[in-house]
Structure 1
Amino acid sequence: MNALQASRILLADDDPNFRKVVSFNLTRQGAEVLPAENGRQAWDLFRRERPDLVLSDIRMPELDGLALLREIHAVAPDLPVILITAHGDIDMAVEAMQAGAADFVTKPFDRERLLRKLERALRPVQLEKENRILREELTTRHSFDSIIGAGPAMTRLFEIMRRVLPRETTVLILGESGTGKELVARALHYNGPRRNGPFVAVNCAAIPVNLLESEMFGHTRGAFTGADTAREGRFQLASGGTLFLDEIGDMPPELQAKLLRVLQERQVEPVGSSTPVAVDVRLIAATHQDLEQLVRDGRFRQDLYYRLNVVPITVPALRDRREDIPLLVRHFLRRLGEDGLEVERDAMERLSRLNWPGNVRELENTIERALALRRHPDRITADDIQPYPGSAPAAANLYEVPDEGLVLDELEKALIQSALRKTGNNQTRAAALLGITRQKLIYRMQKHDLA
């Protein structure tokens, strides 16, 4: 789209024929023209309409073009103003440029040349409009309303988020995989004081250990084999905005020390350089792991943990907010273009009974699979719900006592071992799978010599 299209241009000139010709040419390009016959009328029109650009003759009655330029730039210093001068009036053109005019044209002028000058002056205006629209869309997309939930657990989450929202405090988001930790991080950024800055996300578990330092802090040219050019790290890219460090528990110990130093000194040293670079970031970290346990195990620095854990926010597991499952199902159907599709009561009840170890992400995949494989075009039935093997119904009566009997302690020990294997020895998640607190799990582990 050319920059003139849909732009609003204030045209000020005391020659009615000139205004008519220029208005005709600009309107043909898709612009809206606001005509004024003198400088005073142009100033009044500017204050009412706030156009994207002003095209004004210098010599006009009541208020000349230079005076109009100064009045406009006193309230809108970035608005482009192009002044029209008489042929040979070079001194006046120079004065106009010194006063802040975006450009000038001399009468008589070529139509195509005028259009090129207007387009060039309007491009930054158009870019700023597009950026503003994009920022508004991002703010809407990542508003609190984009996080689905109305039950007590989510109400508590929203309350903590609202309290921390006006501040740039470091936040540590805790929760199992698939609960929506990044959604929370994005909502805090796009609704907070740094909303106009960048949001840069780093998955610490997804980047190879040998590349993680250069990814985080950048590197100079020739810092290592393959570093053909200098590159900014994620801290530099996030400067003025928010850096989101996902899966912070997977960060190697040697990098934890460097991260702590960055948080303390607010500057980074790119790999291969001894010159520090100042950075201005708001840090949000997230993990599905038990950082306190990692600290006790010597796998996570205690001083870094305290630095990150300023405001901890826990995102509840889906099994702890089953009342939100119908809302989430309708949300996913709407997003998949099937808003009017019926979900039978038995199907919704089955969804509400499942254990959901993969949380909201697993529910979304299950709904998408049910849509693709459903037996009826107008509804989803219980038979269409095909959960993953780990999502066994969270019912109490899962086992039958064999005729020969069993040893209850051995069964309890086997279940604890299974839960620990499934969660990679994460005690918090294992306790959640077993429906007990972490303290009770530790007691039972000690009881069965599993600690």
Structure 2
Amino acid sequence: MARDGVPMLMLIDDEPAQRRLVSALGARAGWRTIFAADDGETAIATLGTQDGMQLDAIILDQWSPDYEPSGLIREIRSRRPALPILILTAHNNVAIAVEAMRAGATDYLSKPIAPERLLAALNATLAEGAAAGELRPLTEKITAPLSFEDVVGSAPQFRAALAIAAKAARARVPVLIEGESGV
């Protein structure tokens, strides 16, 4: 959704120095940064603006006195489900990272941020966005895991392979399945 081919990034961070750093790093890679806010309310309001509708990613500072990160992530997800949200934090805490990812964060970045790590994460959001557009309808249609009975195919060789796979699944041991591409 980049404007004029320039990907757009919203930065939600209460530290001015961090905002300048991330903005400068993004600009080097061709990103345009809009500063939504230091607080969640303004960030949510910005989503509805002309710039907010064209965002390609959000970077959210994990700690702020003005908002609860997981709640803000869920709110953003409810309004813009496909928008990548990258968490930037100075606290390398596994529990916080898991909570953020469960809330819908796309990636978790630690401060001090290495420029190449930030740019790789931003560029990955663009690549995933292009691929996700094709896959999203299928993932929305299939909400539960498929069982062996749900697999479609009538060739005797296929049904025999499926029977072997079903036996292996019951044994709960690792299995390597090989086949030609598209099979």
Normalising by structure 1, report the TM-score: 0.27
Q: Closer, same or farther in 2 for the Cα pair 1:60/1:40, shift >3 Å?
A: farther
Name the CA distance, whole Å, in 2 between partners of 1:68 and 1:47: 15
SS across alignment from 1:60: coil
Residue in 2 that maps onto 1:78: 82
> Alpha carbons of 1:269 and 1:101: their partners in 2 closer, same or farther (altered >3 Å)?
closer
Partner letter of residue 6 of structure 1? V
1:40 equivalent in structure 2: 41
CA distance, structure 1, for counterparts of residue 66 and residue 112 of structure 2: 23
Q: Distance in 1 between matches of 2:157 and 2:41?
A: 55
The one of 56, 62, 76 equivalent to 2:60 is 56
- One-letter identity of the residue aligned with 1:41: T
Contact 1:8 / 1:32 at 8 angstroms: preserved in 2? Answer: yes
Q: Secondary structure at the match of 1:69?
A: helix
Q: Distance in 1 between matches of 2:90 and 2:7?
A: 26
Letter in 1 for 2:25: N
Report if aligned partners of 1:81, 1:102 keep a CA contact under 8 Å in 2. Answer: yes
Give 1:128 deviation, angstroms: 6.0
Residue 10 (structure 1) aligns with: 10
For 1:125 and 1:88, the matched residues in 2 are separated by 27
- Percent identity at matched positions? 32
Separation in 2, partners of 1:75, 1:115? 25
Is 1:27 paired with 2:27?
yes
Query: Structure 2 length normalisation: TM-score?
Result: 0.64
Aligned counterparts of 1:100 and 1:43: Cα–Cα separation in 2: 15
What per-residue deviation string (whole Å, max 9, x for no partner) do you get for residues 275-323 of structure 1?
A: 99xxxxxxxxxxxxxxxxxxxxxxxxxxxxxxxxxxxxxxxxxxxxxxx
SS in 1 for 2:109: strand
Q: 1:96 aligns to what?
A: 100
Larger Rg: 1
Is the 1:82–1:103 Cα contact (8 Å) retained in structure 2? Answer: yes
CA apart distance, 1:64: 2.9
Task: Confirm or deny that 1:69 pairs with 2:63.
Answer: no
- Structure 1 residues 269, 71: closer, same or farther in 2, change over 3 A? closer
Aligned residue for 2:124?
120
The answer to whether the aligner puts 1:87 opposite 2:91 as a matched pair is yes
Q: Is the 8 A contact 2:70 2:100 kept in 1?
A: yes
SS in 2 for 1:40: helix
Task: Name the amino acid aligned to 2:71.
Answer: A
Change in Cα spacing, 1:9 to 1:84, as seen in structure 2 (3 Å) is same
Q: 1:99 to 1:29 in 2, by over 3 A?
A: same
Q: CA deviation at 1:75?
A: 2.2
What's 2:114 paired with?
110
Q: Residue type matched to 2:102 in 1?
A: Q
Which segments of 5 or more consecutive residues in structure 2 lack a partner in the other structure? 138-151, 159-183
Instruction: Give the 3-state SS of the residue equivalent to 2:48 in structure 1.
Output: helix
Verify the 8 A CA contact 2:27 2:33 in the aligned structure 1. yes
Kept in 1, the 8 Å contact 2:86–2:106? The answer is yes
Q: Quick one: structure 1 residues 62 and 87, their matched pair in 2 at CA, closer, same or farther if it must change by over 3 Å?
A: closer
Aligned-pair CA distance for 1:15: 0.2
Distance (whole Å) between structure 1 residues aligned to residue 103 and residue 84 of structure 2: 12
- Inter-CA distance 128–116: structure 2 relative to 1 (3 Å threshold): same
Q: CA deviation at 1:125?
A: 1.7
Superposed displacement of residue 127, structure 1 = 4.6
4+ residue runs of structure 1 moved beyond 4 angstroms?
A: none
Corresponding position of 1:250: none
